[in-house]
Amino acid sequence: MDVKFAPVIANSINFPEARIRATPGFSLTDIRTLWQSDALKQCNYTRNGRAAIGIAAQQLMQTQGSNVVLLPAYHCPALVEPFLWLGYQVRFYPVQPDLSVDANLFQRMLTADVTHCLLVRFFGFKQNIEQLITLSSAAGKVIIEDCAHGLLDFVSGVQQPDPRVAARICSINKILPTIDGGLLYMYAQPAQQPQHCGWYEELKGVAFLLKIPQLLQRVRKRRNATNTLTQDQAQPSAFKYFRPADLTSASFRHTKLIVQSSHFPDIKAKRRANYRYLVRGLAAATAGSCLYPTISDEAPYVLPFVLRDENDFQRLRMQRIQVLRWEEIADSGCVVSERYRSRLVQLPCHHKLKQADLDYIINAVLKLADKG
C-alpha cells in the first residue's frame, strides 16, 4: 500500500512564541541528584523515539518473505516512516473515539501475511493495549510496544518485561527537559548498540539545551534557530521526520544525565496532579471535552481534549499555549482519525507548570465560548 500523509493544517511559524510550552524547559537544578534505577541499564539510549522504532523494526525483520506491519490509523508520521524506510508493507488498523481498538476488527486484520504489530499507549494511557498484545501474541506476530508518551511507566515496566513483547520504545524529550532522546528495550538485546556522538557535537547539544545559539540568533536576527543544531548533521532523507543516520547514534550524554537525575515518582505525581486540576477546571468548558476525564495509575504526557470547532486550535495557539495536534495522518479510511486530525488537541500538563499556567490554560479554553 502506498502511504500518503495528509498535509499540515496549521503552520506553527504563523503562531506567536509560546508562553506555555508543551514540554518542560531545562534548568540547572534538573541535574542536582543522581537517582537512577538499574532498570535503565537494560535499555539502549537512542537519538529519539523514531530511531528506537527503526532499530527495533530492523532487528526484528524477517529475512525470508515480506514484512507486513499493522500500525494505528491515528499516529504521527514519525512512527510510520521507519517502517517505510525499511521496506515494510504497512497497514493501518482503525481506532475508536477513546483511541482503543475494536478487538474483533483487529483480530480479523491479523491475517497470515501480517508479521508485526505496533501498539501505542496514546498520551501515556493504556487504552486496551493488553487485549491487543494478547491477540497479536496468540496470532504469533512480533510485537513492538510504543510507549513514546509514557517514559515514566516505561521505566517501571522494564523490571517486569513481558516476553510476548519483542521491543518497547519511548521518547525522552516528550517528558523530560532534553533536546533529544529515546529508549529501547528489547527482549533479545539488539546486535548493535547506538554510539554517542563526538564531544564537539555534545558541546553543541549542551549549548542548544542552554539556549545559547537561540539567544545569539535572536541578537543577530537570523532565521529559524532550531535548524542550527542539525544542519551539519543532517543528511538528505526522503522522509520528513525520520533520518536513517539516527539509527546508529545514541542520545546525547547529557540527555542520559538528565534522565538519571530525574526523580520519576515526583514527576509522575506532579503530572497527575496537574492533569486532575485541568480536568476539574475544564469540566464547564463548552468548546469541547477531555478525552479521559479520569486517570487510573498512569503518568499523562498531555491532556487530550476534543474540540467542537477545529479553528479553536489556532485560537489557543494565538494565546501562546503550545497545544499540539496530529494533522499529518496517513490516508486509511479511519473516520475517527480523520476527525481527530483537526479536533483532538493536546493540552500541556507537564510537571513544571505552575498553578498560574494551569489557570491560564483553563481560562483560555473556557473563553473559547465567547467568539463574539
Ligand X SMILES: Cc1ncc(COP(=O)(O)O)c(C=O)c1O
Q: Which three cell numbers stand for residue 52?
A: 528506537
- Tell me the closest approach of the beta carbon of residue 79 to ligand X, in angstroms: 4
Q: For residues 78 and 83, what is the distance between their CA atoms, to the nearest angstrom? A: 10
Q: Residue 197 or 273: which CB sits closer to ligand X?
A: 197
- What is the per-residue binding string for ligand X in 128-167, x denoting contact by CB under 6 A? ------------------x-x-------------------
The one segment of 73-81, 261-269, 339-347, 355-363 that binds ligand X by CB under 6 A: 73-81
Q: Which of 23, 48, 274, 342: binder of ligand X (CB under 6 A)?
A: 48
73 binds ligand X (CB under 6 A): no
Helix (H, G, I), strand (E, B) or coil at 98: coil
Q: Which three cell numbers stand for residue 23?
A: 514540554
258 binds ligand X (CB under 6 A): no
76 binds ligand X (CB under 6 A): yes
- Which phi and psi angles does 139 have, rounded to 5°? -85, 0
Q: Residue 52 or 278: which CB sits closer to ligand X?
A: 52
- Tell me the closest approach of the beta carbon of residue 75 to ligand X, in angstroms: 6
- What is the per-residue binding string for ligand X in 49-68, x denoting contact by CB under 6 A? xx------------------
329 binds ligand X (CB under 6 A): no
Q: For residues 27 and 255, what is the distance between their CA atoms, to the nearest angstrom? A: 13
- Tell me the closest approach of the beta carbon of residue 281 to ligand X, in angstroms: 25
120 binds ligand X (CB under 6 A): yes
Helix runs in 139-284, H state only: 151-158, 199-209, 212-220, 228-231, 253-261, 264-282
Angle at 59 between CA 55 and CA 63, to 5 degrees: 135
Q: For residues 224 and 45, what is the distance between their CA atoms, to the nearest angstrom? A: 28
Q: Which of 79, 129, 250, 282: binder of ligand X (CB under 6 A)?
A: 79
Residue facing ligand X at closest CB distance: 49
Number of H helices, E strands in the chain: 13, 10
Q: For residues 248 and 190, what is the distance between their CA atoms, to the nearest angstrom? A: 12
Q: Residue 95 or 148: which CB sits closer to ligand X?
A: 148
349 binds ligand X (CB under 6 A): no
- Tell me the closest approach of the beta carbon of residue 78 to ligand X, in angstroms: 4
Q: Residue 142 or 285: which CB sits closer to ligand X?
A: 142
Q: At what angle do helices 264-282 and 355-367 cross, to 10 degrees?
A: 30
124 binds ligand X (CB under 6 A): no
Q: Which of residues 169-228 bind ligand X (CB under 6 A)?
A: 171, 182
Which of 350, 355, 288 has its CA nearest to residue 315? 288
Q: Where does 102-181 show beta strands of DSSP type E?
A: 116-120, 142-146, 167-171
Interface with ligand X (CB under 6 A): 48-50, 76, 78-79, 120, 146, 148, 171, 182
